[in-house]
Amino acid sequence: MGCGHSTTAQLQKQTVFKSKKEAAECVYRIPALLYEKESKTLLAFAEQRKTSKDESVEKLVMRTGKIKQICCQRTIEWSELKEVEKALTDGHRPMNPCPVYDEANKKLFLFFICVKDGITERYQKETCDNRTRLCYITSEDLGETWSDVTDLTDELVKKKNWSTFAVGPGHGIQTESGRLIIPVYAYTPCKPCAISLYSDDHGIKWKFGERFNTVSVECEMAEFSKGHIYCNARNEGGYRVEAVSDDNGHIFTIPQPGNMLVETGSGCQGSVVSFPAQQESANTESDPSQNLENWLLFTHPTSPKDRIDLGVYLNKSPHDPKAWSEPYIINEGPSGYSDLAYIDDGWFACLFECGQHKIHEQIASVVFHYEAICSCKCCFVCKNL
């Protein structure tokens, strides 16, 4: 990758969800993060489990946060933890929180899956016996109160030849056209593939796009110009799957592989967001403010073997899979799933799993500015202009 090195950040890490020392009591995993611009509120979600195992999930929990600026640093003031009580279906465990916000109707959607108690993902894949349900709840006061569960399984999933499926995990997006998109992946008897779930009427009706034509699992999406959607997905082949849609997220194609983003071991979830191209300096040859495309930011463990050293990657040319910068390490040591949120003026928040010895010791947050990773000495594109 690029010049073959990374930079380590010195950031203020804040604990958001802290697992108890006795792992059998309480473990937090699977972070999801959303920033609501008007109220300037961050919403953080996670699974609360009895152990680190998927089948031990008990409930979904959340905290809200406000950005505080002290001198040149930004931190987050987090509220008390509370249970998302409505995210529950009898006899099932809620998993994979995936929030999306409809700016037109000021409505928050929290998508998640509900899996039959005692049933593992492995059992479903091996037997082709889908015991997973597609659900969401909504809130018009940023999570203070929630609607009852809406279950889309019978309407959208029942006729699919899926062994099992899941949303996200991580955030969904609203495109410039107003379309709400939830990233999904489904296991078929042939192979697992990513797919979009979207609504063009503010969440009244939902439909699936076309499945990807390559192996792809947990994924996130971002709009880099009007109607053009980028997707980054977990893979099994040593590198991340990157796909692009030119029809607002219905059909995705795989561009010429860039092989710039290394996958970790058997794979790990990663996060991607888009943000406005930034004006950097008067000496810049091209003016980013004249570029109609957004830039992309991506987070993922940087090791090709283990879930360690969470890195942030920058791409100023989203159509080019070889345009990713070298990683900027925002957490050294054990690092797992993560979720990014763009705040404003080049600032971002990241919610991620980490620990001293294991990734499920806590879910923490950091705030940083893109300039920390936007350095020509680390950028493959700049070195080749």
pLDDT confidence of residue 223: 97
pLDDT confidence of residue 9: 60
pTM of the model: 0.92
Fold classification of 13-377 is Neuraminidase (2.120.10)
pLDDT confidence of residue 73: 78
155 phi/psi in degrees, rounded to 5 = -75, -40
How many other C-beta atoms lie within 10 A of the C-beta of residue 77? Answer: 11
Is residue 306 annotated as a catalytic residue, yes or no? Answer: no
pLDDT confidence of residue 254: 87
The catalytically annotated residue of 198, 353, 361, 370 is 353
Cis peptide before 169 (omega within 30 of 0): yes
Residue among 315, 313, 334 at smallest CA distance from 323: 315
pLDDT confidence of residue 5: 53
The catalytically annotated residue of 101, 136, 198, 337 is 337
Is residue 54 annotated as a catalytic residue, yes or no? Answer: yes
**What residue spans define the domains of the chain?**
13-377
Is residue 337 annotated as a catalytic residue, yes or no? Answer: yes
Q: Splitting the chain (385 residues) into consecutive groups of 10 residues, what average pLDDT does each group show?
A: 54 93 80 97 97 94 92 88 95 97 97 96 93 97 98 95 96 97 94 96 97 95 96 91 96 83 94 91 46 88 95 92 92 97 95 96 95 55 30
> Residues 370, 348: contact at Cβ < 8 Å?
yes
The catalytically annotated residue of 54, 58, 102, 210 is 54
- Distance, CA of 149 to CA of 127 (rounded, Å): 28
